[in-house]
Structure 1
Amino acid sequence: MRRVTRNLFVAIALVVVALLALGALPSYLGSGDPYYLTAEPIETEAPAVDVNNDSAHRYPFLTSALASDEGRSDPYQTDTYGIKESFTHTPFDEVDALTRRLPEAATDSGVRVQYEGTVYRVEVMRP
């Protein structure tokens, strides 16, 4: 193999490794108090987003909050410089996506969802 070809393969491999590292690194960044997505059961006749068929891959914070005995998702920590939010999925993204699906379900601080016959108020909270 020629030296130029070998150098090209090494350069491509380094670029691929660097891109993979940039994709994985932001999820490990975090500082300050964590944010949680909370799901509190409420009694209401107001419109709510039906989330019975939504997957944990699309809404990991919502599904963990609904499955939790405390009604609280896994923690999410922001980073100091705001880089992480550009590369990772956040609880804020989930509330925004649910609000776009059914704008009438929006509340002042979150969104109403219906899961297994119960309506929940879902909000992003800090402890």
Structure 2
Amino acid sequence: MRPITRRAVVGFVFVVLALLALGALPSLLASGEPYYLTATPTDADGPAVDATNLSDRRYPYLTEAIDTGRSAPYRRGPIGLKEAFSHSPFDERQGLIARNPDARRDGGVLVVDGEDRYLVEVTRS
């Protein structure tokens, strides 16, 4: 193998391994206090996001919050790297607001699941 070809192959392998590491790394990075997506039952009236048919693959934090009241913890990365490569409760809140901007309430979003209404918020504890 010619030296230039060998360097090109080694460089390509290095780039592929670095990209694979960046894909796996965010789940290992965690710092600071955890963030949760909480769903509090409410009687508030007004426009709401219909969460009845939302996919639990697209909204895993929301699905867990509606089922149990609070989602699994999410911790931010130390230098902002994790947020660029992983899904977060903040992404889900923004996705809900994008579905119905009028459903926004005091730092949260009003969501309807079947006959139940919830105020969904990102909280720290």
Structure 1 length-normalised TM: 0.88
Matched, 1:60 2:45: no
User: Alignment identity in percent?
Assistant: 53
Q: How many pairs align?
A: 125
2: CA distance, partners of 1:53 / 1:10 = 47
1:96 corresponds in structure 2 to 94
Identify which range, 1-10 or 29-38, moves more after superposition.
1-10
1:86 corresponds in structure 2 to 84
Matching residue's letter, 1:27: S
Matching residue's letter, 1:64: E
2: CA distance, partners of 1:108 / 1:43 = 15
Matching residue's letter, 1:102: N
Structure 2 length-normalised TM: 0.89
- Secondary structure (helix, strand or coil) at the match of 2:31 reads coil
Q: CA deviation at 1:7?
A: 4.2
Structure 2's unaligned 5+ residue stretches are none
Structure 1's unaligned 5+ residue stretches are none
Structure 1 vs Structure 2 CA RMSD = 1.6
